[in-house]
Chains A and B, each alone.
Chain A
């Protein structure tokens, strides 16, 4: 009986904050120690986070997993978030030792294609979070063949100050190309234009594209990749209540062959989708 309860409880747990540091104005990286029960997470999966013992925010919030590390017997997950409302503002004020209620890992992560040997990442702003985890995973996991570890990363942000996590990515990626809206570093313009400018140096026949960022950026990528017949997966974001497929709040419109309207749940069918599945 006790065993079965523990088994059922395994995905709802208390996380203890190790650090919660501003990486740029309104952008924070938080590391949280979770129990051993936290199951092996795949890149692209997310966690639902609530401040323990607080009635506000009422609903938990979804965050992509930025990285997973093991220190001694403890699993540490990192999340990278932007302060956008009252909930994330409160989160940003928490510090070492404060407790969160964590549910996860949830959702369908990236499908790492074994038949293609180059991984191309396109990240816009806070969208770097799941892609950083993907890059770390591909370099560190025994599941991914050695030859498949060529990673090209296109990373975009508003200014140089917001290129958060680039030092880590620089070590992992074979090529890292940055772009900024104001030209304060790298290519001046959007990350999608930067990607298109360099498409000639990418072996599209042997590459898979992984993309995460603002909706309009992913929409732009979706249009561009059609030209190159390159498989592309996107990690979507939506308002969520439950994170486990029940509330039907986080729907995105699915691409259908006919006029029928169908929706996909970001939390359960995604958050990672093949780009062709979404009606952009």
Chain B
């Protein structure tokens, strides 16, 4: 089940999606963290962030909108309070980082570079719910490349760049980020959306718009992973609406080397482990001994 994300070797391709798994410990009563390929932690900023005013979430058809606004304890508190617990486990720790300026990305990356137990960085240039930073960097190929380069300059860790779907051509961003030195790409972040209370005629979210996640976005995420797989030579981590093992396998087939489980963790806190077991079963029943033999095997030429 071993897969490689740049220089990082994961014992299996199942990881958590940032912002849906806390700092890992929230899920310890439900999931054996040692079973997971990696835990991607809640996005970290240089200073603690309070996040957006509630209401922050709303269920929509086959998914949910959120506008949490990157509430987090800040990178320093993460290193002292959360990392010691996480690193005891046999799962890679991937720190998702977020800055309002390019300098902030660089400073957070520096702090984490010296932190024992962090195995890789995931650079969030795709959050739709914050006023500054986030999607502003992810929507422009040059800005996205600049953030990537500045982070790469200050860290020895593998750098994964998380892309937004809220662009005209995700391939252009992917290519630009790869050229800037990204070791891997993860996609997609949430899709901007909204929902309205027709009695009060107000948005369901205080932030008015939010990021859509859940099964509703899976076909879009899958299409984008397939598109990017056609142009990128670095590993791709597929994320977006994965709710079952067969969802995850679809992503592997279209070219993802690993997958992240996000909103499914809210529906079933045991989702990651159950999806991992489902992938293992899929391989076993088909006598496939290496998960890499499934990755990027989509057959579009032969008769279906």
A residues sitting closer than 8 Å to B (CB atoms) are 4-5, 8-12, 50, 55-60, 101, 103, 238-242, 244-253, 260-263, 268
Contacts and interface: CB of A to CB of B under 8 A. Distances in A.
Interface residues of B, number: 35
Interface string B202-220: 0000000000001100000
Interface of B: 19-22, 26-27, 29-32, 42, 50-51, 53-59, 62-64, 66, 68, 71, 214-215, 263, 265-270
14 contacts: A8-B31, A9-B30, A11-B30, A58-B215, A60-B266, A103-B269, A241-B57, A241-B59, A241-B66, A244-B30, A247-B57, A248-B19, A249-B56, A268-B26
B20 A263 contact: no
A58 B32 contact: no
A55 to B, nearest CB: 7
Contact of B56 (A8, A242, A248): A248
Contact of A57 (B22, B59, B71, B270): B59
A246 B265 contact: yes
Nearest to A246: B22
Nearest to B269: A244
B268 A12 contact: yes
A242 B265 CA distance: 7
Interface residue SS majority, chain B:
loop
Contacts of A58: 59, 62-64, 214-215, 267
Nearest to A252: B54
Contacts of A55: 62, 215
Contact of B66 (A238, A245, A247): A247
A4 B33 CA distance: 12
A11 to B, nearest CB: 6
Which interface residue of A8, A240, A250 has the most chain B CB atoms within 10 A? Answer: A8
Given A241-B263, A251-B54, 18 more contacts: A5-B32, A8-B29, A8-B30, A8-B31, A10-B29, A58-B63, A59-B59, A60-B266, A239-B58, A242-B266, A244-B30, A246-B20, A247-B68, A249-B54, A249-B56, A249-B66, A251-B51, A252-B54
Contact of B30 (A4, A12, A239, A262): A12
Given A8-B31, A251-B51, A261-B50, A242 B269 contact: yes
